[in-house]
Chains A and B, each alone.
Chain A
């Protein structure tokens, strides 16, 4: 906007050049940004035998999608995808449910500990995960968990995907509460008050008035949290010691193999792993930016 206006008012020619320069710069940067992933895709499409002799970035003699097939089966990726979804989907639902309830209560009603609670939540989210690992590990071990609710038969929470879900929920609720409470503060108070006067309960106010208005923010958070939860490779490995339970991010390690180093195969696995987060981001991109906008700056 402003650029255009500036343009019209003063030396249009210089401004036009400036604008061309801007596109050139942004495009050059974008190309630079794509190099690493482009390189990985190139590597993933070439047969191992060929690159082993000539190097990954030699001129290609042939292309193949065999690496993708092999990565999928050898890396056990279908099972690992299932594991990831088993962890990510319940976590995501719980995180959004907890944080919208929490944000609703602290942003629309005054209580004594409002700010304290928000402080604790936000600070908690910013703690380094490694710092809390050891005590958390012992806690999960001490918590009984019936075997029929887990596939690990250990009698406690440790080693179950439930434990991973719990820690994700505990950690990420802080961040989402923070964003959502900022967002909810932008919704006019009168909306809720009118409902209250009409006799609507707090619960109804939450579900029928506030939540529908929060959709953009929820979409943005869902995008962001999906990426984070999907990509986690710390909790999914330290808390799950059964190989068959681990999430998709650990399948690269499986393929890393002990002695046989097949970069092309791992490149293919990397690309497969990247697809869901990229797809979710691209699908929700518009909501993503707009959801962040309101939550983050109109506080």
Chain B
């Protein structure tokens, strides 16, 4: 039996809160971060609503030399990592060299940055292209920059699986810990809210064209009409139970108890989709049965046929209306690689505070979905185990099980997140 892998620190920046506690308070209160995209004149485009991280000034948090070499997605990732490490109170020197790794997921790379460089190349010529373009764009940028900033030299990686990738990063971080690296920083952060990134997302055909910010992204609703994209994500500190104990970690949010990923059969195949199998395998990996799950954080695409498929997977596995299901991402938009890690953070806070955040905006769920969607107000109940689901376009399905740590739980005070600056 492998040693437990614990979450001991969280750094989070989401459209409805830059900071874990700010985001959590907004999530419980139903405050949305979705609004008209304001970074450029969006009026000419058929989709105008996005989840933006607005109250964030990278220059306040990062050394000035990092700013010209990084995209906003990397700035958000670096700050999320800083906050996660501060939250975990990892003292420099506690872990030996090579005992700390970084595994992140990324869906779009430094896209706004690279858009500017494409424009420079084609309007001003090759000599105008930034010396930073070669490493500000690629999908490993957040892993590399977090490694360098924090001097983490252990096994590290970057994975891409669209919205499922953030859970894959957490799963791979757990694998890396089990293979002998006691601490791994993991998660995902994405942003592609420049005009080119925006139209590329429109090309997905899944964005909501609604203009009412409160009604645009209503997963599982009878009137679901697509999703609103967002930016941001979360970085988590994962470590072995024994490392957490040895350094007297001030809190353990919970355990990454199970993980699995599957892929759907090719388009047109009569075989069933893989989401349910991912959930079953993650529960089996955690040594749990469906009746032990207290809440499911759904992928909640907002595209009717995908909502229907997910509802079928959940009601098929747990039974009709047998488990509370929620999708607080309706307040942030879908954050691609950031979505899964933010859901995992929310699931851990549900465990901490004994409350399930609602799916705002969704009013009426089709009866034949047969799911108990938490709507309107938070539902107070003890939460010990949560299942988090994420699907990536083209057929990726990932599932993570988080669980309260056995034994007496560290009382975690409700407090504003420490945003310790270390520039």
Bound together: no
